Structure 1
Amino acid sequence: MWKPERNTKKALYEQIADHLEQRISYGEFPPGSLLPSERKLAEQFDVNRSTVISAFAELRSLGIIESRTGSGTRVSTSKWGATPKHTPNWSRFAEGGNFLPNLPFLRRIREALAQNPSLIDFASPELSADLAPTDEIATLMSRNAYTSYMGYDNPQGSTLLREALVEFLNKYRSIRTTESSILITSGSQQSLYLITQCLLSPGDAVAIEDPSYCYSLPMFQSAGLRLFRLPVDNHGIQPEDIRTLYKKHRIKMVFLNPNYQNPTGTVLSNERRKRLLDVISELGLPVVEDDPYSLTSYDGVPPLPLKSMDTMGSILYIGSFSKIAASGLRIGWMVAPRSIVERLADARQQMDFGLSIIPQLVAGQFLQSSFLDPHLERLRIQLQFKRDLLIESLEKELSGLIEYVAPEGGLHFWCKLIPNIPDAKLLEESIKKGIIFVPGSVYGSDSGYVRFTFARTKPEDIELGIARFARAIRELIK
C-alpha cells in the first residue's frame, strides 16, 4: 500500500496530493465520487490529519476536488473546466449486480490487515509459509522442465492430476473413483460456487450447518437460495433434523463439513454418520461434503469421509490443497457422478477455459512423490503444537471468561465468551490492541462466539495475541 516518502525534499502533503490526483486521473475516483475521509486517509498514509487537510486544500485550489460541510469531499464534476456529460454512475454499478459483496465483518478484517500488517492474525484461514512444502515443491519444479504444450487443457482438469488424485483419494481417504469422475477446481469455494450456480435454482431450499462456514459465503444468497440450519453440537448435526427440514421446506441439497468442522472443529460421530446416510438415501437427497481438514488429524488417524461409506452415489465430495499444502497453488477437486462433472466442466470452460496447467502438474507430482507423507506428519505436529500453545494462553489469560472444546484436528479454535460482548465492539477494541480474529456471528452464531484460526500465526505471537485479546475484553467489561 502506497505511503509518502519521508526522506525526500518534497513535502508530505504534496506527495499525497500528487498521489490522489493520479488515482483520480486513472478513474479510480470518477467525477462526483466521494473520497475517503481525512481521518481515514491519515491512518492509511501514516501521517497527521493536518497533512491530509493540506493535500486536500492543494487539490481544491486546482479545481480537482470540492468539499461541502456535512457531505464530505468529492471529485469535482467540472474538473479542469470540462463538464463530463455522460460519466457512468460507477457507484450504482458497484452496488448493483446479483453477486453480493462479502459480509461487513469480513471486509473490515481485510481492511484492517491491509492497513496494519503487524496485527497478530487469528483470522486468515491458511497455513503459514513454514508449514507449506515450499522446498519440496521447488525441488519438483527444478526436476521438471514443464516444456510440454501450454495451450488450453481439458476443462475437467489435468489428466495427470486426476490420475494422481484417484490414487491419493483411495490411499488416504478410502474413496474409490476414476479420473472421469473428478473435476479440478481452483479450490473448495469454486466447487461450491459451481454447485450453487449450476445444480440449483433461485428459490431452492438447502440445509447448512449452524454455525457454518457456508453462512459466511454470500454466494448462496447471490444464487437466490433459501438457507435452513442444522444445529451442530459436540458430535455434529442430528440427522433427524434433515428429515424435519425436508418435510417443512422440501430442501433439495445438504451442505456438510463433517470432519473438524469450520468453525467449531467438531467431528460427526460414527453413529450419526450411519443414520445420516440412511436418511438421505430414504429421501433421495444429495449431500455436498466439504473435507479440507481431515488429513490434519493430530493423532495421524484421520476420520473417514462420508463419501467412503456412500454406496448410493448421494455424496458430492470436495477437497482442496489449500489446508494441507499450499493455498497459492489454487488446486481443489470434486468427486461426483460423471454427468455432474461434465455439466460443471462445461460451466468452468465458459468461465475461464480451465486452470493454469503448471500448478496442476506440480500438485499431481507432489501427490505421487515421497515428499507427501513426511510433509503431512510435520504439518500435524506443528498444528497440534500451535493448538496447545493457544490453549495454554487461553487458560492463562482468560480462565473463567471463556468456554471451548479443544479440536483434535483442523486449523480453527471455537470459543464462547462468558461476558456477552457485542461482536463489533470486541473486534474494534481488539484491532486497537493489535490482534484480529473472526467474530462468531459471521458463521451464523449468536454474538459472543469467536473463531481463532492459528495455522498462520507464528508460535511466538500466540501468547502475545491472546494477552492482547484478554486486554480488549477487560477494557469492555470494566
Structure 2
Amino acid sequence: MILDRQSSVPLHVQVTDYIKEKIRTGEWVVGSRLPSQRNLAEELLVNRSTVIAAFEELAAQELIEGNRGGGTMVVNNTWGLMAGKQMVNWETYVESGQYKPNLPMIRKINEAEFDPAIIRIGTGELSPDLLPSDTFADLLRKTPAQSLALGYQEPKGDLHLREQVSQYLKGIGIAAGSSSILVVSGALQALQLISNGLLDRGSAIMLEKPSYLYSVHVFQSTGMRFVSLPMDAEGLHPGKLADYKREYHGTTVYTIPSFHNPTGTLMSENRRRQLLSVCEKERLPIIEDDVYRDLWFEAPPPPALKSRDKTGNVLYIGSLSKVLSPGLRIGWIVGPQPVIDRLADIKMQSDYGASSLSQWVAGEFLRTGLYEKQVSLVREQLRKRRDDLIDLLHTYFSDIGRWRVPKGGFYIWLNLVPAIDPRQLFERALKKSILLNPGILYDRGARQYLRLSYAYASQKEMEQAIRILRKLVIESGR
C-alpha cells in the first residue's frame, strides 16, 4: 500500500484503515499475528510512532491485542463486533491440520524465488532459457484440435503416455508394462501417495544423511520417523540396514542414487549391488528416486536399482521436471501391479488424475524423440555451467571451501571452512539479493554446508553472487 501524504486524513488513520481492511477481508484472520511495528513501518514508509498510534486505536476498538513477548494478534473483526459474537478462530484449525508447515526458511525461500531481483544460486530447477518453450508452442500449434484429449484420463494415467514411458524405461534396462506404471504430478506427489497408501503411521524411513527429504514434511506429516544412514563418495552405506530393521517398526529405504540431492553424489555400481543384496536378504522395500538420472555429463550412471530388481522390492520414481519443465508436473511410479493399483486409487481420491494436456505433451515429447534432443541440450549446457561454477569456486573459495566435482545433476555440496551461523548467513545474503540453500535444510548437523546449483543462475549472476558470498562467509567467520 502507498499512503497518500497529500491527503487531509492523518497518516496514522490511513494505517488504521489499512489494517482494518486486511482484517475485514479475512486476509488477517482472527488469531493471526500482525507484522511487527518496525516491519510494518518499513513496508508503509512511515515512522514507527505512526504505526504505534494505529495499533493503539485498533486496540481501543477491540480488534487487536498485544501479548507480552508474543507480538500483536487479531482478536476480532468488525462484523464480529457488530454482531456481538466471537468469530471463528481459524488459527486453531490451521494448527490442527494433518500436514505440518514447511520450515520457516523453506517458506522464505519459496517466496523469494518469485522475486526477479533475487539471484538464486541454490534453486533445483532449470533456468528459463534452458526450457523448450518454442518446442512446446510448435508442438501445440501443429497438432489438430481433435487430437487433444482434454477430458479425465484412466486412474493410472493416459495410456499413450504410459506406453511411451514403458519404452523409455526399456532403454535404461527397466522392464515395466503400462499396467505397472502410474502417472503422477511430479516426484513429490509420488512420495505423498506412497506415504499415505503404503506406509503405516509410525513407520521408519531409512535415508541418506543429508537428504532432500529432510527439507520437506511429506513423510513426517503422516507420522513417519527418519533414520539417517551415512554416505561417502560411493553413496549410501548399507552396513547398518539390518540392525535398523530390527530396531525400528515398518522400515523402508529411500535413496537418490544418481546425482544425489543435495550432495551431487553418484552411487557406484558396487554400492548399488550391495544395497540391493542387503535389502533383498532383509526383505526391505526400496523407494528409488531417480529424477536426475538423465543429467549425466561424461558417462551414463550405473544401472538403476530397479533394473536389477528380481523380487519386486523396488518402487521406482522418475520425472520429466528436471529436463522438460518443472511446471509440466509429470512423473511416474513403477512397481508391482497390485501396488500401482492401490496408489492409483488413492490418486483418484486426491485429484482425479494429472493434467490431461500435460500428459499428452509429455507423451508426444517421448514419442517423437524431442525428449532426447532436449536432454542432450540440457546435458551440454549443465556441463558448461558446472565447469564455470567450479572455476569460480577455485577463484573465490579455494582457501575457505571444499567440494567434489559432480558427474551430473544440478548440485555442488560446498563445505565452508570458517565457522558460520547458517541462518545468519542466509539472512545476510538475502539482504544482498542472493538466495542460498543452507545445508541445515537437508541435515541439521550440516551447518558448514551450502547446496549450490549451477542449473538456474546465469554465469554473470553466479559470478556476482559467489564474489559477494565469499565476503559474507569471511565476515561471518570472524
CA contact (8 A) 1:63 1:79 kept: no
Structure 2 stretches of 5 or more lacking a match? none
Flag the 1:413–1:325 CA change in 2: closer, same or farther, 3 A: same
Please name the residue that 2:424 is paired with: 425
Provide the identity percentage.
36
Letter in 1 for 2:383: Q
Alignment of 1:19-168 (within 5 A): 19-31=18-30, 33-43=32-42, 45=43, 47-50=45-48, 53=51, 56=54, 60=58, 63=61, 65-66=63-64, 68=66, 70=68, 72-75=71-74, 77=76, 79=78, 81-82=81-82, 84-113=84-113, 117-147=116-146, 150-168=150-168
- 1:359 corresponds to which residue? 358
- Show the counterpart of 1:203: 202
Gap runs ≥5 in structure 1:
none
Closer, same or farther: CA 64–129 of 1 in aligned 2, 3 Å: farther
| 3-state SS of paired residue (2:452) | strand
Are 2:224 and 1:225 aligned?
A: yes
Displacement after TM superposition at 1:113 (Å): 4.3
Report matched runs for 1:419-458 at 5 Å: 419-444=418-443, 445-458=445-458
Q: 1:271 to 1:32 in 2, by over 3 A?
A: closer
Describe the SS at the equivalent of 2:388: helix
Equivalent position SS for 2:105: helix
**Cα displacement (A) at 1:287:** 0.6
1:461 corresponding residue in structure 2? 461
Counterpart amino acid of 1:104?
P
2:399 counterpart letter in structure 1: G
1:187 counterpart letter in structure 2:
G
Name the structure 2 match of 1:475: 475
SS at match of 1:288: strand
TM-superposed CA distance for 1:284, in Å, is: 1.6
Inter-partner Cα distance in structure 2 for 1:208 and 1:423: 23
Bigger shift: residues 150-159 or 188-197: 150-159
Task: State whether residues 77 and 83 of structure 1, in contact with CA within 8 Å, keep that contact through their aligned partners in structure 2.
Answer: no
The alpha carbon displacement at 1:16 in A equals 6.0
Deviates more, 1:25-34 or 1:324-333: 25-34
Aligned-partner residue type, residue 158 of structure 2: S
Amino acid at match of 1:353: Y
The answer to whether the 8 A contact 2:201-2:223 is kept is yes
Q: Give me the whole-angstrom Cα distance separating, in 2, the residues matched to 1:215 and 1:78.
A: 38
Deviation readout 1:294-321 (Å, 9 max, x if unpaired) = 1111125343311112222211000111
How far is the alpha carbon of 1:352 from its aligned partner?
1.2
Q: Distance in 1 between matches of 2:475 and 2:442?
A: 25
Q: What amino acid is aligned across from residue 333 of structure 1 in structure 2?
A: W
- Counterpart in the other structure of 1:244: 243
**Greater CA drift, 260-269 or 390-399:** 390-399
CA spacing shift, 1:113–1:83, aligned 2, 3 Å: farther
Name the counterpart of 1:282. Answer: 281
Aligned residue type for 2:100 = L
2:211 equivalent in structure 1: 212
CA contact (8 A) 1:32 1:75 kept: yes
CA distance, structure 2, for counterparts of residue 33 and residue 239 of structure 1:
46
369-378 vs 208-217, which deviates more? 369-378
Letter of the aligned partner of 1:430 in structure 2? A
Q: Aligned equivalents of 1:138 and 1:66: distance in 2?
A: 51
What SS does the corresponding residue of 1:219 show, helix, strand or coil? coil
Structure 2 CA distance for partners of 1:324 and 1:10, relative to 1, 3 Å: farther
Distance 1:181 1:82, change over 3 A: same
**Cα distance, 1:59 vs. partner?**
6.9
After TM superposition, give the deviation of residue 373 of structure 1 in Å: 2.2
Q: Count how many residue pairs are aligned between Structure 1 and Structure 2.
A: 473
Is the alpha carbon distance of 1:229 and 1:74 closer, same or farther for their aligned partners in structure 2, counting shifts above 3 Å? closer
CA RMSD of aligned residues (A): 2.7
Deviates more, 1:104-113 or 1:450-459: 104-113
TM-score in terms of structure 1 length: 0.91
Question: Counterpart of 2:345?
Answer: 346
